[in-house]
Amino acid sequence: MRKFLLPALLSGLVLACGPKEVTVDYTQMSDEERLQAATEIAQSTIMVDGHVDLPYRMKVGGFTLQREILDVSVRTPDGNFDFPRSREGGLDAPFMSIYIPAGNQAIPGASKALADSLILMTERLANTFPDKFAMAYSPADVEANFNKGVISLPMGMENGSGIEDELANVEYFHGRGIRYITLTHGKDNLIGDASYDTTGTHGGLSEFGEQVVAEMNRVGIMVDLSHVSDNTFRDALAISKVPVIASHSSVRKFTPGFERNMSDELIKAMADNGGVMMINFGGSFIDSAYAAGSAKVREHIVNWLAENNLSRRDSAAQVYIKEYTAANNPFPTVQRVADHIDHVVNLVGIDYVGFGSDFDGVGDSLPTGLKDVSMFPNLIAELLKRGYSKEDIEKICYKNIFRVWQAVEDYAASQK
């Protein structure tokens, strides 16, 4: 089990008060003291992230079943996730996204085949580095791995197209270790309509989609409503017998017109269902001003490269791009992510929100102060500054998602 020393300030408080429980007012600390306290909380508390796109990054990076070209057991020069940075940030259980691009839907069998290959890659990672990673199929597995000091790799399938048109594949993927399925992705599929699509193929869930949701309940797979249209969201809530999740979605209030995020109506409906909303950190998800600001920066850089007859690969260009972007920073900050968490908490309470970063899935759009998994303490420190307690942080880090996950498991067990 990992053990950590309390910061000196907190140790003094505990010693002075003896065995009594101490309520610490983090808002009165200096920024340095608060970050120290946040780091201690991150390191000593189980932390779950609802969505990390490492498997597809491994595929793009050339990962094979014979050898690992992208070795995330050591610090990597790019991407947002690897073992050392995960340890620094206190991340213990990143849900590995088994991501299936919408383009695969057009080829029969392609979605399932890709899902199987990404699952194998994830398993290979755990088998190759058993002192660092382990598979996890339940909250109990995550807790056991935490106590052993290894990072859990639970899996969620992003895009239900992997089910193809065979309902039996729901149970198949449960057997392969999938513990949530995001019903759609960028396009409508056989299950239902997607938020990024404007076709409205089914007007929500299809008849097949209704069967899929019921079957996911039966076998013990969480229903993930990120990426779905509002109608699909409502239909799935009406059918599910257990709480649902949004593994990587943010608040629509801050991005008006962006259906991919959740409206207040849907946030309330998810809370009424007992579900949990896991906040996406991507720039376009947390601040509508990001798209306009980043477009201006990109336009300037493209013009500058052309004027200087350089490509992005040239070292001089890389230096200039880094300096110009820093001087004309289009990115939101970690405070904006906290704004989204605040909004959910103020709307429905502390029991219905979590982290769903989308690390390795949103490119370079991540906020200042939250660029990779090592920086989770910055977000926790900001929440402490706003008056969140250690118990609140624990709910956001893992207790809320554990509650939903366990409820789904318990319901499935009752159906056998």
Task: Give tens-digit pLDDT for 122-143.
Answer: 999 999 999 999 999 999 999 9
pTM of the predicted model as reported, rounded to 2 decimal places: 0.89
pLDDT tens digits, 361-390: 998 889 999 999 999 999 999 999 999 999
Is residue 16 over pLDDT 50?
no
Kindly indicate the confidence band of residue 319, based on its pLDDT and cuts at 50, 70 and 90.
very high
Find all residues with CB under 8 Å of 387, minimum gap 6, and list them.
Answer: 26, 27
Note the pLDDT of residue 296: 85
Residue 111 and residue 164 in contact, taking contact as beta carbons nearer than 8 Å: yes
Per DSSP, 52 falls in state E
Is residue 4 over pLDDT 50?
no
Question: Cα(332)–Cα(342) distance, rounded to whole angstroms?
Answer: 16
Closest among 143, 136, 141 to 180, alpha carbons compared: 136
Q: Are strands 133-135 and 155-158 parallel, antiparallel or unpaired?
A: unpaired
Which of these ranges, 173-182, 295-304, 365-374, 406-415, has the smallest mean pLDDT? 295-304
* Residue-range domains of the chain with CATH: 41-287+332-414 (3.20.20.140)
Is residue 15 over pLDDT 80?
no
- Lookup result for tokens 């303490």: 377
Identify which has the larger pLDDT, 54 or 8: 54
Question: Cα(256)–Cα(263) distance, rounded to whole angstroms?
Answer: 9
Kindly indicate the confidence band of residue 70, based on its pLDDT and cuts at 50, 70 and 90.
confident
Question: Cα(164)–Cα(168) distance, rounded to whole angstroms?
Answer: 10
Note the pLDDT of residue 62: 58
Kindly indicate the confidence band of residue 11, based on its pLDDT and cuts at 50, 70 and 90.
very low
Identify which has the larger pLDDT, 33 or 77: 33
Question: Cα(355)–Cα(400) distance, rounded to whole angstroms?
Answer: 10
Note the pLDDT of residue 121: 93
pLDDT tens digits, 112-121: 999 999 999 9
Percent of the chain residues topping a pLDDT of 90: 82
Is residue 193 over pLDDT 60?
yes
Note the pLDDT of residue 241: 98
* Average pLDDT over every residue of 228-252: 98
Is residue 14 over pLDDT 60?
no
φ, ψ at 4 (rounded to 5°): -135, 145
Residue 26 and residue 34 in contact, taking contact as beta carbons nearer than 8 Å: yes
Identify which has the larger pLDDT, 143 or 324: 143
The two structure tokens encoding residue 253 = 């209030």
Find all residues with CB under 8 Å of 108, minimum gap 6, and list them.
Answer: 164
Q: What is the mean pLDDT of the chain?
A: 92
Note the pLDDT of residue 180: 98
The two structure tokens encoding residue 184 = 């759609």
* Average pLDDT over every residue of 345-354: 98
Note the pLDDT of residue 293: 79
Is residue 67 over pLDDT 50?
no
Note the pLDDT of residue 21: 55
